[in-house]
Amino acid sequence: MVAGDWPTALAPMQDVTGLPFMKVVARRGSPDFFFTEFIRVHAHSRVDPEILSSITENPGGRPVFAQLIGENLEDLRRVAREVNAQPIAGIDLNLGCPAPRVYRKNVGGGLLREPDKIRRILDVLSEEATSLLSVKMRIGFEDDGFFGDILEIIEESAVGLVSVHARTVKGGYEAAPSYPHVARAVENLSCPVLLNGSVDTCRDALRLREKTGAHGVMVGRSAIRNPWIFRQIREMQSGSPVFRPKMGDLFRYFEDLFNALAKPGISEKGHVGRMKKFLNFVGLSVDAGGEFLYAMRRSRTRDELFLVCERFMILEGREQMDFPLEPFEGLASRKGKPVLERGRA
């Protein structure tokens, strides 16, 4: 089955989708759109230089949306004007972050409890928009009680793109996605809708887009596990053979990521610790028994971590083995499941 040409996006993920990760993904096949990590908006906030670099040093020339998270109208107006001076594709409002430390401040997913405040925020951002205004949302906070109201508000505003993560805030990342809510958004909104939530493979992307009528798909955690997914989606769209990475390709991805994420002044222990957050996702497709995840999480030094990766990815002929496109069933639900420590969209 061949699909027409439809867009893909890398989901914004805090402490993940900075410039280094964007570049690593771009080398394996860029999505059509990037979104920055969220820019915190409060009385004394300024745009983080590292986040700014993901806009100004945009890999591959792909459009980048600047994502804002906040609730104060005048602060949002001020920061919107600041990012408008940059070469952005648009401003994206975060209405989905499920981290308690975020929604307790009544921002991100917390705003889904207050449709009237969302209306006021979108009014302000619409006034300041010099490019596309976008919204990244979940289907509700604890339930979908306000979902219809929020869709009406979005439709009445100047929003030109909506990304719907098909879970509630309280559902986190473990609840089953409710894709009928994405279809409902498609039916009720005149702007394009991107589907987000458990798009694990290029086949999932095609199936779920056709099922919901979404304009395109947004991929988050699965792009950490499989950075070739956007290339694979594009190949499936065109009817070309879909690239099947080998475990040796996975090892080279790990090396690239390790080098890209290194920062001046970060300790070896700190860098290894950060790499484990990424390898928690990669490991879902390394071995079905979870031995890689067990050994990787107990590594303390660079050499220990590389030895574990070499053992499972390149030694004893593993380099030429196919890298599974799907995560092994059950691994993500075990103790020590993959999580990133900081708030995410």
User: Is residue 69 in a domain?
Assistant: yes
User: Is residue 135 in a domain?
Assistant: yes
- Percentage of the chain exceeding pLDDT 90: 89
- Per-residue pLDDT, averaged over 44-53, amounts to 92
Please tell me whether residues 77 and 201 are part of one structural domain: yes
With beta carbons less than 8 A apart as the criterion, state whether 169 and 134 touch: no
Between strands 8-10 and 161-165, the pairing is unpaired
- Give the domain range for residue 278: 247-324
- Identify the domain boundary among 206, 238, 270: 238
Please tell me whether residues 25 and 75 are part of one structural domain: yes
Average pLDDT value over all residues in the chain = 93
Band (pLDDT 50/70/90 cuts) for residue 174 is confident
Please tell me whether residues 251 and 231 are part of one structural domain: no
With beta carbons less than 8 A apart as the criterion, state whether 261 and 20 touch: yes
Please tell me whether residues 201 and 252 are part of one structural domain: no
Report the domain count for the chain: 2
Q: How many whole angstroms separate alpha carbon 345 and alpha carbon 334? A: 23
pTM of whole model > 0.85?
yes
**What CATH number is attached to the domain comprising 115?**
3.20.20.70
- Identify the domain boundary among 217, 238, 259: 238
User: Is residue 265 in a domain?
Assistant: yes
Q: How many whole angstroms separate alpha carbon 263 and alpha carbon 275? A: 12
End-to-end CA distance of the chain: 32
pLDDT per residue over 95-104, tens digit each? 999 999 999 9
- Per-residue pLDDT, averaged over 160-170, amounts to 97
CA 138 to chain centre: 13
- Per-residue pLDDT, averaged over 273-302, amounts to 96
User: Is residue 340 in a domain?
Assistant: no
Q: How many whole angstroms separate alpha carbon 290 and alpha carbon 262? A: 26
User: Is residue 336 in a domain?
Assistant: no
Please tell me whether residues 208 and 309 are part of one structural domain: no
Q: How many whole angstroms separate alpha carbon 240 and alpha carbon 70? A: 43
Between strands 161-165 and 132-138, the pairing is parallel
Q: 210: closest CA among 176, 190, 183? A: 183
Band (pLDDT 50/70/90 cuts) for residue 335 is very low
- Is residue 329 predicted with pLDDT exceeding 90? no
